Amino acid sequence: MFMVLLIPFKILQACLLPAPKGTSCANYARCVNQILQGANNIQLWLRIPLVKPDVDSMDEKSVTLDDSWESWNSFRLLCEHHSQLSVALDILSTLPSTNSLGRWFGEPVRAAILNTDCFLTNSHGCPCLSKRHQRLISGFFNHSIQIIISGISVHPKASMDANETSDINSQRHPLRPYLDYIGYLYQRMGPLPEQERFELGYRDFLQSPLQPLMDNLEAQTYETFEKDAVKYIQYQRAVSKALLDRVPDEEASAKIIVLMVVGAGRGPLVRASLQAAEETGRRLKVYAVEKNPNAVVTLHSLVKLEGWEDIVTIVSSDMRHWNAPEKADILVSELLGSFGDNELSPECLDGAQRFLKQDGISIPSSYTSFLQPVTASKLYNDVKAHKDLVHFETAYVVKLHNVARLSPSQPVFTFSHPKSPENESNQRYKKLSFEIPSDTGSAMNPILGIFVSKIDVVFSLITGFAGYFDATLYKDVHLGIEPSTATPNMFSPGSTLEVHFWRCCGSTKVWYEWGVTSPSSSPIHNSNGRSYWVGL
């Protein structure tokens, strides 16, 4: 009897494909796309040179180096942005512009193939890299991109070690010195800050936006908020400054300040406020207003545990409907969303403003939302996988990481508290014009993602708009996520992207609408809040 011989093998995780050649890659892309349609778990890595010679030049002496992002962009469009198609970048001694390099961090780059020709020679005869190459490699490490060494050894002396025998040297891989240097660069990187380590699991993960008024937050959501130690340190600083301004030193022992925490949750702002009072030697009477009955239970336990019964009064009510027994000197809230006003802080604080004294202090005192055009290939594919309009018109909460920021962010809407005049509408409209540098690509592509969807633009692949905020808690104490220090180097002229953005208010909901009018027009998205809205 004959039996079948079964030989197990490890499943191939990825297949490296050669780079497209010539000006057209349609036939090649069609073949790859056919494979992708039947592929299960295997990833296809398309080898793309970071820069490529301009083969169309007639004069060989005048051959220039072109950015090869266009080749990749054309290829992946023909393959319908397939999520299993990724990039392996070939890195040579010449690097393109800073803007061009930054754009790749928004693409699905899985590996960087570093040619030995990239390496210089240090004073010891060992391989090293230029400062620009070092920064690029550090960026690859930060984005979990594999580093592959390729080529022949051009530092033969570095492979010989005086302390090693010739037999050991003969077994040493000739590319080992290059790998050792890459390992040195990795070891030289400092550890991630605690907050970044905590946020690792949230990187580039689409989270549904909160409905803070319609829904009661879960305990896990509160736990996530409470881990943001920096935020509560800033709030404590703001309350401390407000108390010092409100109560002169000579009145510190006698005057009691009424402070209301609206949206107290499980008590972190109550704790921060009481710590500010202890720090400044001021006296407080605190009202903790919270509508979530589950959070109120935890709040009662905290007050009892800390012995705050004589200082803190817990109010189980929606701040918009509660009738306060007295006016507040200071009103404290943490109702801000990632886009500032997107969790209805204006509407909530409007309802609470009636029990703030005429000269009372609101913390925060103002906040501004910001928009920035970005490329984030992973997020695009995650939204696209739903195959419907609703997900393309939903504003997600995302810890952006694999993203290329194409232009500096710009302010959109600003809200101040207490509001004057009190009957001012919370509806807003803003037109923004972004200058996109010419070295960030030029192709007809859709804009999709965080705020914008299905808009054809004639210069750059923009997968969405990232939304940020900056809040003034009190005077010079700020809180925010607007990346003003991480804007592109705009040293080259480019094209203008013109976007219109509306904040709309109805009797039961608040929503955003948006549309692009330049360089080409798009439909108005999320009309009447058909896909995304926040309930009042």
231 is annotated as contributing to ligand binding: yes
Q: How many CB atoms lie within 10 A of CB 116?
A: 18
Which tokens belong to 4?
């079948």
CA gap 32, 85 in Å, rounded:
9
Q: What is the largest CA-CA distance in the chain?
A: 103
The residues, any chain, with a CB within 8 Å of residue 500's CB and separated by 6 or more, are 429, 430, 431, 432, 514, 515, 516, 517
| 113 touches 47 (CB < 8 A) | yes
Q: Which amino acids are annotated catalytic?
A: 334, 343
Beta pairing class for 65-67 and 85-91: unpaired
399 is annotated as contributing to ligand binding: no
Report, in this order, helix, strand and coil percent for the chain, each rounded to 5.
30, 30, 40
290 is annotated as contributing to ligand binding: yes
First to last CA, the chain: 76
Nearest to 294 by CA among 356, 219, 241, 226: 219
Three-state secondary-structure class, residue 79: coil
Which tokens belong to 462?
């923009």
380 is annotated as contributing to ligand binding: no
396 is annotated as contributing to ligand binding: no
1 is annotated as contributing to ligand binding: no
User: What secondary structure letter does DSSP report for 459?
Assistant: S
DSSP string, 178-237: HHHHHHHHHHHSPPPPHHHHHGGGGBT--BPPP-TTTSPPPHHHHHHHHT-HHHHHHHHH
CA gap 154, 119 in Å, rounded:
9
| 140 touches 112 (CB < 8 A) | yes
Q: Which residue has the tokens 């070939």?
A: 90
Beta pairing class for 109-115 and 146-150: parallel
Q: Which residue has the tokens 């570093």?
A: 114
Alpha-helical runs (H) found in 46-193: 69-78, 98-103, 131-142, 166-171, 176-188
Instruction: List binding-site positions.
Output: 222, 231-232, 290, 318-319
Residues tagged in the binding site annotation for S-adenosyl-L-methionine: 222, 231-232, 290, 318-319
